[in-house]
Chain A
Amino acid sequence: MGSAGLSRLHGLFAVYKPPGLKWKHLRDTVELQLLKGLNARKPPAPKQRVRFLLGPMEGSEEKELTLTATSVPSFINHPLVEKMDLVCFFPVCGPAFAHLKVGVGHRLDAQASGVLVLGVGHGCRLLTDMYNAHLTKDYTVRGLLGKATDDFREDGRLVEKTTYDHVTREKLDRILAVIQGSHQKALVMYSNLDLKTQEAYEMAVRGLIRPMNKSPMLITGIRCLYFAPPEFLLEVQCMHETQKELRKLVHEIGLELKTTAVCTQVRRTRDGFFTLDSALLRTQWDLTNIQDAIRAATPQVAAELEKSLSPGLDTKQLPSPGWSWDSQGPSSTLGLERGAGQ
């Protein structure tokens, strides 16, 4: 019974990390909940042990002794059973499952929230594949004009206070467009493509150029969703980022606007092909929900990773390491559309 549950526990799934929780604590909590669920199942049938017991031989007149092989339930392999009438099962070896391999994909720091991909068992291998696929991620970043702090967060030490009456939506949009343009150039540069080839041109037309190895944070798309001074809401598609760099981005946008800004919320809405819909909330971190989530995500994960890691369509081998495309990437350079949905 326990092994049946364990066999379904290999793969990737997404949880929604609430703000204020460290990713390590989240990983530990998920592991504990899974172990609780696995150990709560009925223990397997007892192992029989063959013992040779002395006893009188049947059908003999004299009292001859002989050995008969009998199978008795072994006492040493069963977890604790409360009921006294199950005499054959002895509690000696403790819970059947004591440890599970649970891995974390792209991490989120304590104050950020959003989609966090976890892998269980053999799924941890897929986490590396996901990392090597270099897919983009979506964030919603909330900013507050008029303040500057030392760590770019709202609760940091205050450094400066400014006015922001002169800030308008158009100014903000213009700045975001400049940012996106400069990052576009950086995208091409870090992707190590020979731009003079036909394939590179086709990829550029489709908007699929991106670096497949380490690079600084690159923004593939950024736009403003909501602007009501002092608050504003941005949507950012990026890769190779950290949440601290996103907060720094908000700070720099404030500087460009000739005022100051701090970041109040960083929330990841998409990580590769895992979105908010499939992310499990805190109340759903138990064995059955996680198994269902893994089952739901497996075909998609397999397909996407296959596509990302397979070589390009009938093109000659380029010197740059494994370029490939991602169907989730932004379809237009201005990033007005969100990355292609499911």
Chain B
Amino acid sequence: MALSAQQIPRWFNSVKLRSLINAAQLTKRFTRPARTLLHGFSAQPQISSDNCFLQWGFKTYRTSSLWNSSQSTSSSSQENNSAQSSLLPSMNEQSQKTQNISSFDSELFLEGNILCQERKRIIPVLLMNFYHAFILLPISEEEAIQIIADPPLPPASFTLRDYVDHSETLQKLVLLGVDLSKIEKHPEAANLLLRLDFEKDIKQMLLFLKDVGIEDNQLGAFLTKNHAIFSEDLENLKTRVAYLHSKNFSKADVAQMVRKAPFLLNFSVERLDNRLGFFQKELELSVKKTRDLVVRLPRLLTGSLEPVKENMKVYRLELGFKHNEIQHMITRIPKMLTANKMKLTETFDFVHNVMSIPHHIIVKFPQVFNTRLFKVKERHLFLTYLGRAQYDPAKPNYISLDKLVSIPDEIFCEEIAKASVQDFEKFLKTL
């Protein structure tokens, strides 16, 4: 005769020694139609004596269908508290439904806070013998087939690899293109993702992101970077997008900004406002130009403002550019605002003092601040060696800075230096 769920003593109901995932959540995730009968114990075949049943039971009783604790995964306790309240009501229904056993995957319990500690009870030894008798009764072939005994999932792990085969949420995320190997490095985010339900929570967020304008194939990259967006309130996000629209950022602009700076929507409206105001005051550009600048480089809004302030001082005081010159350079190359101070000074030192290029020509070609210094050095030294280093526009054979810096090696060698690439390589080996 087969053991059926109803025959399992009711006292299993309240025994709880570990925190577990709520069966309700699991029904949706684990599609195993067959009845699984306390399959946990098959993982521990040796049941020798009654006194060791306690330990055995304590370890594997989790397989009982009548779980009544809701679970949370390991670290974040505050999410536990919120999860608890939402999951507790559904628990009571579970105890009625016996066929939920079938969908219950016993191995999936995760360590975490023990809720409802007061409901712990010790199993009497007499009942243990009773239960023991049940286990050793013969069962039919059909029922034997339906026992599913997979190796247990680890209760806590440092990688999401262990859970991805059993979690529909994770599988769907992976299909979207989210790189889980990057998310598992942030334990809070990983735990959050494991506990979220795709249909309820994640889908809303994805639809919202599509509304904002992010394409399907870009969703994966966005979510990999900004996995914290799932903990944001949808209403807040909508308010922030509305605020950006009110500042005359078009829908395409907002989509581009959110794509390039995924954390943008995590900033509150006041913060965004402050930052936009800062850039307007600091750079003293017109509203339209500030808007273009921010759309081109949205990480100005999400990054720290200290480097920008420092760089503005460097340009004005140390390098000696006038304010309108700085404005011109920044509208051409927004990245200059967040460049490294030391690299800026080294590049400027070489270009101005060694190559003897005056300020007004550097202003015309600000991309020289965006290139690696070694590139500028190597090409300049090669041209000097060939006698072609002529940077004065008034004289013949003038070589402009953008040609020096922005074109690839082969074209540079052929057209500007009028030498072969092998000569350039031989020259590089003499430096």
Binding site for B on A (CB under 8 A): 16, 18-21, 54, 64-67, 74-76, 80, 82, 84, 87, 90-95, 113, 267, 276, 279, 281-283
Shortest Cβ gap from B181 to chain A (Å):
3
Complex contact B181–A91 (CB within 8 A): yes
Contact of B429 among A87, A90, A281 (CB under 8 A): A281
Complex contact A91–B171 (CB within 8 A): no
Chain B residue, CB-CB nearest to A74: B165
B409 within 8 A of A: yes
Contact of A18 among B164, B171, B175, B431 (CB under 8 A): B431
Contact of A75 among B34, B164, B181 (CB under 8 A): B164
Complex contact A90–B174 (CB within 8 A): yes
Contact of B164 among A20, A54, A90 (CB under 8 A): A90
Assembled-state Cα–Cα distance A20/B373 (Å): 10
Interface size on B, residues (CB 8 A): 30
- Interface centre among A91, A281, A283, by most B CB within 10 Å? A91
A-B contact count, CB below 8 Å? 73
B425 within 8 A of A: yes
Assembled-state Cα–Cα distance A210/B34 (Å): 80
Assembled-state Cα–Cα distance A82/B224 (Å): 13
Decide yes or no: A16 and B428 within 8 Å by CB, A67-B145, A82-B217 being known contacts. yes
Across-interface contacts of A65 in B (CB, < 8 A): 34, 142, 145-146
B219-237 contact mask (Cβ, 8 Å, vs A): 1 or 0: 0100000000000000000
| 4 nearest A-B residue pairs (beta carbon) | A94-B181, A90-B174, A92-B180, A76-B161
B321-351 contact mask (Cβ, 8 Å, vs A): 1 or 0: 0000000000000000000000000000000
Docked complex: B156-182 residues within 8 A CB-CB of A: 159-161, 164-165, 170-171, 174-175, 177-182
Assembled-state Cα–Cα distance A113/B430 (Å): 9
Complex contact A92–B145 (CB within 8 A): no
- Interface centre among B220, B428, B429, by most A CB within 10 Å? B429
Complex contact B165–A281 (CB within 8 A): no
Shortest Cβ gap from B381 to chain A (Å):
11
Shortest Cβ gap from A90 to chain B (Å):
4
Instruction: List 18 A-B residue pairs with CB atoms under 8 Å apart, sorted by A's residue number.
Output: A18-B428, A54-B34, A64-B142, A74-B165, A75-B164, A76-B164, A80-B181, A82-B177, A90-B174, A91-B178, A92-B170, A93-B161, A93-B181, A94-B179, A113-B431, A276-B429, A279-B429, A281-B428
Chain B residue, CB-CB nearest to A84: B175
Shortest Cβ gap from B61 to chain A (Å):
25
Assembled-state Cα–Cα distance A16/B374 (Å): 14
B405-431 contact mask (Cβ, 8 Å, vs A): 1 or 0: 000010000000000000001001111
Across-interface contacts of B175 in A (CB, < 8 A): 84, 87, 90
Complex contact A80–B179 (CB within 8 A): yes
B33 within 8 A of A: yes
Shortest Cβ gap from A281 to chain B (Å):
6
Main secondary structure of the interface of A (DSSP, over half): loop
Assembled-state Cα–Cα distance A121/B33 (Å): 50
Contact of A80 among B177, B428, B429 (CB under 8 A): B177
Complex contact A92–B164 (CB within 8 A): yes
Assembled-state Cα–Cα distance A67/B147 (Å): 11
Assembled-state Cα–Cα distance A21/B431 (Å): 12
Contact of A91 among B180, B378, B425, B430 (CB under 8 A): B180
Across-interface contacts of B171 in A (CB, < 8 A): 75, 90
Chain A residue, CB-CB nearest to B180: A92
Shortest Cβ gap from A220 to chain B (Å):
23
* 16 further interface pairs, Cβ-Cβ under 8 Å (given A64-B142, A82-B177, A90-B175): A20-B374, A54-B146, A65-B145, A75-B164, A82-B217, A82-B220, A84-B217, A87-B175, A90-B164, A92-B161, A92-B164, A92-B174, A92-B181, A267-B430, A276-B429, A283-B409
Assembled-state Cα–Cα distance A282/B429 (Å): 10
Docked complex: B66-90 residues within 8 A CB-CB of A: none
Assembled-state Cα–Cα distance A92/B178 (Å): 9
Across-interface contacts of A282 in B (CB, < 8 A): 374, 428
Across-interface contacts of A20 in B (CB, < 8 A): 374
Complex contact A75–B374 (CB within 8 A): no
Complex contact B431–A19 (CB within 8 A): yes
Decide yes or no: A18 and B145 within 8 Å by CB, A90-B164, A90-B174 being known contacts. no
Across-interface contacts of A281 in B (CB, < 8 A): 425, 428-429
Shortest Cβ gap from A100 to chain B (Å):
18
Shortest Cβ gap from B280 to chain A (Å):
39
Across-interface contacts of B431 in A (CB, < 8 A): 18-19, 113, 267
Chain B residue, CB-CB nearest to A78: B174
Shortest Cβ gap from A225 to chain B (Å):
13
Complex contact A16–B145 (CB within 8 A): no
Complex contact A92–B374 (CB within 8 A): no
Across-interface contacts of B378 in A (CB, < 8 A): 18
Across-interface contacts of B217 in A (CB, < 8 A): 82, 84
Chain A residue, CB-CB nearest to B34: A54
Assembled-state Cα–Cα distance A233/B220 (Å): 58
Shortest Cβ gap from A58 to chain B (Å):
16
Chain B residue, CB-CB nearest to A95: B181
Complex contact B174–A18 (CB within 8 A): no
B23-38 contact mask (Cβ, 8 Å, vs A): 1 or 0: 0000000000110000
Across-interface contacts of B159 in A (CB, < 8 A): 93
Assembled-state Cα–Cα distance A21/B142 (Å): 71
Chain A residue, CB-CB nearest to B174: A90
Assembled-state Cα–Cα distance A74/B164 (Å): 11
Across-interface contacts of A93 in B (CB, < 8 A): 159, 161, 181
Assembled-state Cα–Cα distance A331/B429 (Å): 26
Shortest Cβ gap from B225 to chain A (Å):
14
Chain B residue, CB-CB nearest to A16: B429
Assembled-state Cα–Cα distance A21/B429 (Å): 14
Shortest Cβ gap from A255 to chain B (Å):
28
Assembled-state Cα–Cα distance A160/B167 (Å): 75
